A and B are shown apart, each in its own frame.
Chain A
Amino acid sequence: MNDLLIYARAVHFAATMMAAGIVLFDVCVAEPAFRKSPSSLLAATLRRRFAWIAWISLALCVLSGGAWFVLTAASMSGQPLAQICAQDALWTVLSQTDFGNDWFVRLVAACALAGTFVPLLSANGAASPRLKAAAAILAAVLVGSLAFAGHAIGAEGAEGIIHPAADILHLVAAAAWVGSLVPLALLLAATRKDSTSLAVARTATLRFSTLGIVSVATLLVTGIVNTWYLAGSVDALTETDYGRLLVIKIALFFAMVGVAAVNRMRLTPKLVADADAIAAQRARSALCRNATIEAALGTAIIAIVAVLGTLPPGSHANHHAAEGLIPPDAAFQHIHGEDGMADVTIEPGHVGVASAAVHLLNDDLDTLVARQLTLTLTAPAPGSKAVTRSGIVDADGTWHVNGLALAAPGNWTVAVDALLPSGKHLKLTAPIEIDAK
């Protein structure tokens, strides 16, 4: 089900970015460019293409949003997917959780935005400035409110305000930039015919340039804020899955900025220069190609973001558990106690003979040294005898217990008793789920 969730998120983010981006592009770049040139056939053709993209993106946005909502509600309530509609879990999630409330607000925003599409993208471009402003605001709300469905929420204090604020700006800037690339490429491709349409291409490119610079600057600043809160340390960037994916996202971002820099500094001046029409056309064509390349990079970034939201962020407050990758067939439990914590991994986590690895941590997440450690496992059936074995420590400070016989599946109880150098015993007990073979 986790896979389905990632696909739903990926489609939803891409569709939202596209729908919001095309509205922002139309209002900030295309319409001003069309005004400068009397060529109404070009404008009408492009508006029609934009309308297609806008409607399809919004439809995908709503459908994938619905899928994301249902999958998340199933996960939150623990209900299997097949039964989710029969229970009132869907209504509880919708009305009583931040995620559900945010989803509903976004659905309303999407419907309102759809309402603006007909006048906004009508062939004769008769939309009033107020309608354009309303459409732009709704587009920003639709994409910005994604912040409330992710990792930016949940913290207390100053972080609880600054982090979502940064994330909202990050999302709107991303939609404005990445979402504009496809309509920009379309506009550049359509303006190859004559000098009047070249004028449209020039104005559009210059306006997009400004939009791009503001977006990149915003993405950089808000990206740093987000990374500060979510990764928490340089180690987390290299040692956690979340961190490693984030590094790739950042690398792709800089690749996009690189292409954008070439566009801004080499190609745009050539396009805008009056002297050489042929060079200008070639620059236009190159810009069109580069915009397509950037759009592809942007899509990869969106795919990564879809996965990132399903992983625990790397920072201390969010990631008490083991830094390493947990094998998919292992059973894992994190146990929090007064004098320390333990991460217990039982591999394989199903009926049979298994080995346990216990990692002791103190409150600062440093490895806790113990003189001795015993592990006690009690089977789920009432009245079962507890089995206690001693552990052997390895060079990393992780304790290992081998040859554990797990006879039945269910909710076992695992207890860790570690003798600390101070002479105190660290005793931690927790349930651990063992699967059937």
Chain B
Amino acid sequence: MIAWLIFWLAAIVAIGGQIPLILAAWRLYRQPFQQAPANVPRSDGRADLGWTILTALATLALFGAAYLALP
């Protein structure tokens, strides 16, 4: 019971936390590097968004595996 409670609490925070990260990556994709100095290289916004989504999916997979391993 405690294990389930901890799992769902952690899952809500960790997976829910991906939403603001994806939104932030989207924001930077739409308005890229307004403050960056000229000598700083500009990255590909789509690739940055892609990395963020990939990280979110990997986290989802981790929690999926943890769900299957719940006692």
Does chain A bind chain B? no
Interface residues of A (CB under 8 A from B): none
Interface residues of B (CB under 8 A from A): none
